[in-house]
Amino acid sequence: MPGTCVVGLQWGDEAKGKIVDLLGNDFDIVVRYNGGANAGHTVVVNGKAFKLSLLPTGVIRPGVVSVIGNGVVIYPPRFLEEVDSLAHGGIDVSGHLFLSDHAHVIFPYHMEEERLLESGSEGKIGTTGRGIGPCYQDKVGRRFGIRVGDLLNGDHLRERLRFIVPFKNRLMMALANGQASAWRHFDPEAIAEEYLGYAQRLQPYVRDTSRLLQDALRAGKRLIFEAAQGSLLDVDHGTYPYVTSSSSLPSGIWGGAGVPAKFITRIIGVVKAYTTRVGQGPFPTELTDGPEGIGERIRRIGREYGTVTGRPRRVGWFDAVAVRYTATLAGADEITVMLLDVLSGLPELKICTAYELEGQRLTHFPSDAYQLARCQPIYETIPGWREDITGVRKLADLPAGARRYVERISELIGLKVSVVSVGPDREQTIVV
Ligand code: IMP
């Protein structure tokens, strides 16, 4: 098993970190290949909680090497903050953490650009405000992108910023309709000084990570790839334009880490037992039943608030149409069902098995946001269960309703369920 990918099959926050943690002894290197500090996860080690956005969750495993691939966008202060917080907690990552010289760098003007674009009433995507989209735009646009490797040469960096920043200032003035007080002006020299300071501290981590990973594969090392966000937020296959700006499906690995697909031999699709989404965009199974409703109950019990932004997540029933679509695109071999315990106590549960669009029954997922927004879910109802299941460790010991619910998800997606999670702790897990 040289390469395993753990990928979320919904709109992110599927508790992928717990699966990576459970696979802890089965890999030597953990790799991130997409996104940036828009992801968020809390990792608890010896009772201490670490909030990570940019570093992979596997970074806390002793002896494991962590790699941030070229497909990730880096905000250097955030990277250093996370490294420092781990060091304060007694986890030294030096010599175990590597950052691609080809990864693109987020600058303060990216965040300002995003703030201005998202503050208008139209065209809002509901982003995390971390500068992710504008940085990827500059990467693909080529003229204004700066990579980690560029930070390591002071003259080169200053020259690039002297060319880029005046353009960015003009762009921001235009986005703010010329209102001087509505946007922040940037000075290329000040940014260069600030980032050269970061570069000194980043340098020991910087590597040609594609080569590092290829050498590791040749040496028989086992790799695990942590996808950030969820497959429905993939820039190509997600609910465009309400997506993130990177390839969050396993297809992003080849481009975002330089590891050919043939090395990825196991793909684990992670789903929540229900659905959540943060930000704008269509969500056919969303529960909008008010403060006393089931949606609010799931949000409260499942603590469904964004790790990065603190925003309440939108909550809805499990959507088998959407997950069938992403499981196929991801090439998932198995699925893991997370947070099943959150549904305990509900008299009945609904699973969306098809959509209705203009009088037609659809069993495929229209990933176009305009079409999806007009789809009505068609539900199947399954009786719930009353029992607390957080102490259950075997599938056979689950109440009949819970067992049926998991089996039905498996049947509808057409994949075996390999893990059912019944609580946040490592022990609160049913391995099937
Ligand atoms: P961006 O990635 O900040 O540009 O945000 C684009 C969309 O992706 C927004 O709807 C965000 O809420 C969503 N998003 C980005 N990262 C995550 C994540 O890690 N979990 C859930 N949603 C995310």
User: 316-374, pLDDT tens digit by residue?
Assistant: 999 999 999 999 999 999 999 999 999 999 999 999 999 999 999 999 999 789 999 99
Same domain, 292 and 425: yes
pLDDT, residue 50, reads 82
361 touches 378 (CB < 8 A): yes
Residue 37 Cα to ligand 1 midpoint, Å, equals 10
User: 220-239, pLDDT tens digit by residue?
Assistant: 999 999 999 999 999 999 99
pLDDT, residue 96, reads 93
pLDDT, residue 43, reads 76
Nearest CA to ligand 1 atom 19: 39
Same domain, 296 and 235: no
User: 106-136, pLDDT tens digit by residue?
Assistant: 999 999 999 999 998 788 999 999 999 999 9
* 41 is annotated as an active-site residue: yes
Q: How far, in Å, CA of 242 to CA of 16, rounded?
A: 21
Ligand 1 contacts CB of residue 341 (under 6 A): no
Q: Residue 103 — very low, low, confident or very high, per pLDDT cuts 50/70/90?
A: very high
* 88 is annotated as an active-site residue: no
Q: 139 pLDDT exceeds 90?
A: yes
pLDDT, residue 308, reads 80
pLDDT, residue 296, reads 96
- Residue 300, token pair as written in the block: 């409260």
Q: 176 pLDDT exceeds 80?
A: yes
27 touches 63 (CB < 8 A): no
% of the chain with per-residue pLDDT over 70:
100
For the ranges 46-55, 205-214, 269-278, 366-375, which has the lowest average pLDDT? Answer: 46-55
pLDDT, residue 61, reads 86
pLDDT, residue 397, reads 98
CATH of the domain at 36: 3.40.440.10
Residue 233 Cα to ligand 1 midpoint, Å, equals 7
Mean model confidence pLDDT for the chain: 95
Conformation bin of residue 16: beta by default, left when phi > 0, alpha when psi is -120 to 50: alpha
Same domain, 92 and 228: yes
Query: Residue 241 is part of which domain span?
Result: 3-100+206-268
Nearest CA to ligand 1 atom 16: 38
**End of a domain among 268, 292, 322?**
268
Residue 46 Cα to ligand 1 midpoint, Å, equals 30
Q: 307 pLDDT exceeds 90?
A: no
pLDDT, residue 343, reads 98
Q: Which ligand 1 atom is at minimum distance from the Cα of 39?
A: 19
Nearest CA to ligand 1 atom 8: 244
Ligand 1 contacts CB of residue 38 (under 6 A): yes
DSSP strand E in 312-398: where?
Answer: 314-316, 318-319, 334-338, 348-357, 360-362, 376-383
CATH of the domain at 144: 1.10.300.10
Ligand 1 contacts CB of residue 238 (under 6 A): no
**End of a domain among 253, 268, 283?**
268
Q: How far, in Å, CA of 432 to CA of 419, rounded?
A: 6
Q: 215 pLDDT exceeds 90?
A: yes
User: 256-268, pLDDT tens digit by residue?
Assistant: 999 999 999 999 9
Residue 298 Cα to ligand 1 midpoint, Å, equals 20
Say how many domains are in the chain.
3
Ligand 1 contacts CB of residue 13 (under 6 A): yes
Q: 44 pLDDT exceeds 80?
A: no
pLDDT, residue 282, reads 97
User: 14-42, pLDDT tens digit by residue?
Assistant: 999 999 989 988 899 999 999 999 988 87
Same domain, 185 and 92: no
Same domain, 310 and 369: yes
pLDDT, residue 138, reads 98
pLDDT, residue 80, reads 97
Q: How far, in Å, CA of 315 to CA of 180, rounded?
A: 40
